[in-house]
Structure 1
Amino acid sequence: MSRFLRDKYPATLPAAVRNFVRSRATGLVAVAAFVGVLSGCADVAIETVVQFLHIVLFDLPRHQHLSAASKLTPWRGVLVPVMGGCVLAILTLVARPLAGRLADAIEANALYGGRLSLRGSLFVTAQTILSSGFGGSVGLEAGYTQICAALASRIGITLAARRADMRLLVACGAAGAIGGAFNAPLAGAFYGFEVVLGTYTVGALAPVATSSLVACLITHQFMDPGYLIPPNSMAAMAPGDIVHIGLISLMAALLGIVLMRGVGASEALFSSFKVDLRLRPVIGGLIIGLMSLITPQVLGAGHGALSLDLAAVVTPAGLAILFALKSIASSVSLGSGFRGGLFYASLLLGALVGRFYAEVIPTFASGLPLDPGLAALAGMAAFATGVIGAPITMTALALETTGNFPVTLAALIAATIASLIVRDLFGYSFATWRFHLRGEAIRGPHDVGWMRDLTVRKLMRTDIRTAASTLTIEQARAAFPLGSLKTFALVDAADSYVGLVILDDLYTVDVHPEDPVTKVMRHSHTVLLPSMTVREALDIFESSESDALVVVDRATSRHIIGSLSESHALRAYGRELERQSPDNVTSFQPKGERLRG
């Protein structure tokens, strides 16, 4: 077991405080409010440091976003990202061995019951700050979420919180991180539910919403996220616009899938280079730096570029080029080892898709005009939903960051359509796609860690009867009278498993008494291993259409150590599932991830 899982931080708070939090809903809300304070402060600190790096390294005026710079000194545009790659390489060399187990909030909630390594999260956050500060085409939202969730997790450990409460506190940290970053408490709360917790429960509403709201109150005093699209700059949605919004959503969803696959292809390409892993960010930084000579909009998360591109007059060809350059820059950044996410980049790319559509559609349907601002909003909601996998979050974000309630319906329609398309054609969000590329069977934040602990070894019976595979039908009937048991296993001379005999088959199948007993055996090639999880066992039961299977020590030796029935596995799974989530109202579970039982 890794050090990450063995870490036991002492519960340093008095027992009365811990009991108050564990037994009272108001206690958990109070802790969530404190998490919101920490999240808001962390957002402000990270944003301040990154903006300071942009001002110093790229010689920017104060309060100007990097991606909105009209021009950069060429040597700075090329050299600074390369320097960033070098700094990341040094940081990885020096600090990575000290960082412990690296897991994000989704992985922690899915596998580890909300336990996050604070040292590992500080390392990831430092990487994110340096990646964005030196011009990498990555967003800060991953860094915000990482450190805020880790702080919430540490508080939960200090309080000796239960597993469910630990996962909830991690969601509170993530909600505060996103809500504070965009000054959007509703979006932050729904992000916590959709992306980090995976379920909506009545008991979780107050803590998650409180954390997000408090974080917004903190960041509002120091940061001015502004509006993604200025209020009153968009026309109200007309009934005829629904067709346009549907087409924009289709384009955005498909391009979002291309972007996510592009990041995976970029990682594979950099992995194929015969260079040290730590030097890949240097190569990536050089590529990004050279791209900045074309336009500075490829640098950073894209806050300035979004405002610039929504207001400027840009030709359809120009919009397409900007989309391609930003997509390539983000893929190269993440593929080469820069740390960050695609949250804000997906908003920018979606806005470009929407504006492109609005500029092109008059050429084909001059009688069906579409407001460019409304098109950009629909594109943002659709593209970000496809990449992040949070349609309600993006709808709330559209409402809170535009200040325009009537057009929120367009965002809801776009997010819904994009979510449906991406789920059906791809099946992953960007986060779960990265897990898939790493070989992790995680399709969301739903708590499957307990499922990994519920193994075949814990569920199996060890009193299985065996017999030699050389017996005849008559000898087997003599050894196992009808009604004495349900099944028995056959073994060879080396005591290895040969097959399973169901007693009813032994007496009802039309065979000669002198025939070998192997004639009525089943599942000779289907066995369970003690390390398998209950989920893996249930999948094998379903594919083999068996009611019971033998458990062997190893796939090679096949020595029998027990047996397991499907009914017992289903009962155990059902009991544990009910214990883990007794009050779920809604589950934001990806397609194909619901287990039988």
Structure 2
Amino acid sequence: MALAVMVGAGAGAGSIVFRWCITAFTHLFSGHADYAAAPGTGNPHVPWLGPYFVLIVPVLGGLLYGPLVNRFAKEARGHGVPEVMLAVAQRGGRISPKVAVVKTLASALTIGSGGSVGREGPIVQIGSALGSTLGRMTRATEHRMKLLVACGAAGGIAATFNAPLAGVFFAMELILGTFSAEAFGATVLASVTASVIGRAAFGDAAFLELPAFRVDHFAQYGLFALLGVVAAVVGVGFARVLYLIEDACDWAWRGPEWLRPAVGGLALGLVLLALPEMYGVGYPVLEKATADGYAVGFLLLLLVGKMLATSLTIGIGGSGGVFAPSLFIGAMLGAAYGTGVHHLLPGTAGSVGAYALVGMGAVFAGAARAPITAVVILFELTGEYSIILPLMLAIVLATVTSRLLTRDTIYTLKLRRRGIDLEGAAPGARIGAQQVGSVMDPLPSSLSASTELTDAADLLGLSGYGALPVVDDSGQYVGVVTAQAIAEALTEQPDAAPAEVGRLAEMPARVTTDQPLAQALHALLSAAGTGVPVLDPAHGSPVGWLSHQSALRAVHTAG
């Protein structure tokens, strides 16, 4: 707990330094505290260039951060969160301490010189690197090392957005990928500590000034539901465009990597000249969109422009996050959608700002599939409890639609393109790569769903298994029943216990013969019994049984 507080304090201090660097470099390169607030104006440092200075500053910024990243910490390139997820999943939480310093400077230079990226990815990586460094210094176990990395991520998000709850859920939902009392307690301590430090430096106001939210008509919930589905398509599309442009940049560039951001800065400069609202993070533009300050056509232009500018910034080797661009894109989509339905249904649609707010959360949920984080951060930004119902509706639908469209998120897709599966074995690992079909045991005899509970208890006791598969009268697999479930039903509620075992059958996590063992272990560890059925991937019927003993036997053989 003491270490969690220390990591939170370090993340809070890091966020202050990082934001100061962004402000300083933005003023140095553009002559403004935030050029997106005055797009198209000249730079007072070089007034004779007028608005054309944006053609030069991305090149100058690239000349500074390109060699820095290439020489000292190549993992500081890009949006940062996938690297932290990989460190926790497969590297024991180990992150080089150099990353904190290099990421701070590289991301601040990228954003300050016009890069259209966010600051949440960098601060997550900065805070996580601080947590990992402290874990090494105190010789923490691997479990605690991962927890300290998550604490750093939580503290960074909390201090940057003045959203302590969002920091906690971001760390558990995206970085750790699991929820536990210990993780919750540690990340809360880190998040609160970082928030206190952040508020002392930046004040107690939210980092965005957003309009009040209300639902004017019950029919709006149907409109919000449709927005959630559309937002999922846009969020998934953003991820595809991001990596498509990154592939195009990889294909086109043949020179040294340290020079790539400077040369690519010429293309980014052309985008900024055509659409100066894309300069930097773009919060002033986002705020204006939520206040119904733009026409529908320009909102859609800003949406497409942000996708292009963010993708190009990362594709040329820039350093920055995709969380804020996701919010930006969602705000443009929601505002355009809200304006459209307001013209079609003026008495029902309600305010445009409401759709912009819901669109922000829904597009992020569609891109990252982190629904809890999306709900919490938008709630913390607005402080309006009335946002919860439509926000939850749109975000859940966006998450479900996104899962139907693609297996990857905007974060995991970056890793999968490099051949890394976070749920599989680490590259080069000696164990865990075997397919489940090669290590599973024979399938034990199944129970009929119509078997009486007392008879099922006897059969389970004789089988030597703590659980058995259950099939219906037609032989179709319906789930697994555990000895514990039967015992609880017979002892705790004997009068209300179901007559047949099929009523107690539950469907465990799906394990198939073609899955890697390392991936199937997650399902095995979460199973209530001593094993799980292994299914035929083509037909979904049980063909084998994966137990703790068979998994350990495979590990021992591989070792």
Correspondence for 1:165 = 144
Q: CA deviation at 1:355?
A: 0.5
Alpha-carbon distance change, 353 to 238 in structure 1, aligned in 2, over 3 angstroms: same
Deviates more, 1:291-300 or 1:263-272: 291-300
Alignment check: 8 A CA contact 2:213 2:386 kept: no
- 2:323 is the alignment partner of 1:354: no
Contact conserved, 1:237 with 1:374, CA < 8 A, in 2? no
Of 14, 35, 38, the residue aligned with 2:7 is 35
**Which of 4, 12, 29 does residue 57 from structure 1 map onto?**
29
* Percentage identity across paired residues of the two chains: 28
Q: Are 1:306 and 1:351, in contact at CA under 8 Å, matched by a contact in 2?
A: yes
Contact 1:382 1:414 in 2 (8 A): yes
Partner of 2:18: 46
- Distance in 1, Cα, partners of 2:210 & 2:273: 33
From the superposition, tell whether residues 544 and 265 of structure 1 become closer, same or farther in structure 2 (CA, over 3 Å).
Answer: closer
Is 1:72 equivalent to 2:41 in the alignment? yes
Structure 2: stretches of 5+ with no match in the other structure: 43-50, 439-512, 524-533, 539-543
CA distance, structure 2, for counterparts of residue 379 and residue 31 of structure 1: 37
Q: CA deviation at 1:171?
A: 0.8
Counterpart secondary structure, 1:438? coil
Does residue 252 of structure 2 align to residue 282 of structure 1? Answer: no
- Residue 496 (structure 2) aligns with: none
Partner of 1:83: 60
Distance 1:104 1:39 in 2: 17
Instruction: Find out whether 1:212 has 2:191 as its counterpart.
Output: yes
User: Residues 57 and 134 of structure 1 are in contact (CA less than 8 Å); yes or no, is this contact kept in structure 2?
Assistant: yes
Q: Cα deviations across residues 224-245 of structure 1 (Å, max 9, x unaligned)? A: 5844664662223642111111
Query: 1:365, CA displacement in angstroms?
Result: 3.3
Aligned partner of 1:325 in structure 2 is 305
Corresponding position: 1:152 with 2:124: no
| In structure 2, distance between residues paired with 1:98 and 1:420 | 31
**2-structure distance, mates of 1:320, 1:81:** 25
Counterpart position of 2:294: 314
Pair 1:221 & 2:200 matched = yes
| 1: CA distance, partners of 2:321 / 2:407 | 19
Using the TM superposition, give the Cα deviation of residue 423 of structure 1 relative to its aligned residue in structure 2, in angstroms.
1.3
How far did 1:384 drift? 1.1
CA distance in 1: counterparts of 2:428 and 2:549, whole angstroms: 13
Residue identity matched to 2:36: S
The corresponding residue for 2:88 is: 109
* Structure 1 residues 99 and 379: CA distance shift in structure 2, 3 A: closer
| Aligned mates of 1:181, 1:397 — CA distance in 2 | 12
Are residues 237 and 186 of structure 1, via their aligned partners in 2, closer, same or farther at CA, if it must alter by over 3 Å? Answer: farther
- Superposed, 1:200-349 pairs within 5 Å as 200-224=179-203, 226-227=205-206, 230=209, 233-236=212-215, 238-276=217-255, 277-311=257-291, 313-349=293-329
- Cα distance, 1:364 vs. partner? 3.3
Q: In structure 1, how many angstroms separate the alpha carbons of the residues matched to 2:203 and 2:552?
A: 48
Q: 1:366 to 1:132 in 2, by over 3 A?
A: same
- The separation in 2 between residues aligned to 1:118 and 1:388, in whole angstroms, is 26
Matching residue of 1:407: 387
Q: 1:355 to 1:172 in 2, by over 3 A?
A: same
2:418 matched residue in structure 1:
438
CA distance in 2: counterparts of 1:305 and 1:264, whole angstroms: 25
**One-letter identity of the residue aligned with 2:518:** R
Separation (CA, whole Å) in 1 of partners of 2:135 and 2:428:
22
Local SS of the residue matching 2:350: coil
Amino acid at match of 2:225: G
Deviations 1:467-495 (A, max 9, x none): xxxxxxxxxxxxxxxxxxxxxxxxxxxxx
Partner SS for 1:433:
helix
Between the aligned partners of 2:350 and 2:19, the Cα distance in structure 1 is 35
Give ranges in structure 1 of 5+ residues lacking alignment: 1-28, 462-527, 546-565, 578-597
Task: Name the CA shift for 1:30/1:322 in 2 (closer, same or farther; >3 Å).
Answer: same
Which residue pairs with 2:366 in the alignment? 386
> Residues 56-78 of structure 1: CA distance to partner in whole angstroms, max 9, x if unpaired?
21011xxx423222433223211
2: distance between equivalents of 1:429 and 1:200?
Answer: 19
Moved more, 213-222 or 88-97: 88-97
Are the structure 2 counterparts of residues 241 and 194 from structure 1 closer, same or farther at C-alpha, using a change threshold of 3 Å? same
Q: For residues 232 and 31 of structure 1, do their structure 2 counterparts lie closer, same or farther at Cα, with a shift above 3 Å needed?
A: same
Hey, what's the Cα distance between the residues in 1 that align with 2:411 and 2:422? 9
> Residue 409 of structure 1: CA displacement?
2.1
Instruction: Report if aligned partners of 1:137, 1:330 keep a CA contact under 8 Å in 2.
Output: yes
Structure 2 counterpart of 1:34, one-letter code: M
User: Match of 1:571?
Assistant: 549
Q: Is the 8 A contact 2:208 2:283 kept in 1?
A: no
Please give the alpha-carbon distance, in whole angstroms, between the structure 1 residues aligned to 2:155 and 2:111. Answer: 21
Task: Name the SS for the 1:104 alignment partner.
Answer: helix
Q: Report the Cα distance in structure 2 between the residues aligned to 1:228 and 1:370, rounded to whole angstroms.
A: 25
The residue type equivalent to 1:195 in the other structure is: L
CA distance in 1, matches of 2:394, 2:74: 44
> Aligned partners of 1:433 and 1:79: how far apart in 2?
32
Q: What is the TM-score normalised by the length of structure 2? A: 0.74
Q: What is the count of residue pairs matched by the alignment?
A: 451
TM-fit CA distance, 1:449: 5.1
Query: Aligned-pair RMSD on alpha carbons?
Result: 3.3
- In the TM superposition, residue 544 of structure 1 has moved relative to its aligned partner by 10
Q: Counterpart of 1:364 in structure 2: which amino acid?
A: L
- Quote the offset at 1:120 in angstroms: 3.8
Of the three residues 124, 127, 130, the one matched with 2:109 is 130
Q: Distance in 2 between matches of 1:129 and 1:181?
A: 14
Deviation (angstroms), 1:97: 7.8
Instruction: Answer yes or no: is the 8 Å Cα contact 1:84–1:131 preserved in 2.
Output: yes
Q: Bigger shift: 290-299 or 377-386? A: 290-299
Closer, same or farther in 2 for the Cα pair 1:533/1:453, shift >3 Å?
Answer: farther
Which digits, 9 at most, give the CA deviation of each residue in 1:19-75, with x for residues without a partner? xxxxxxxxxx22111111100000010000111111121011xxx423222433223
Is the 1:451–1:535 contact (alpha carbons within 8 Å) kept by the matching residues of 2? Answer: no
CA contact (8 A) 2:217 2:349 kept: no
Contact kept, 8 Å, 1:319 with 1:356, in 2: the verdict is: yes
Distance 1:257 1:122 in 2: 32
Retained in 2: the 8 A contact 1:270–1:280? no
Whole-Å separation in 2 of the counterparts to 1:207 and 1:305: 36
Is residue 2:177 matched to residue 1:198?
yes
> Do the aligned partners of residues 416 and 114 (structure 1) sit closer, same or farther apart at CA in structure 2, a change above 3 Å counting?
same
1:542 positional shift: 6.8
The aligned amino acid for 1:368 is: T
Cα contact 2:334–2:359 (8 A) shared by 1? yes
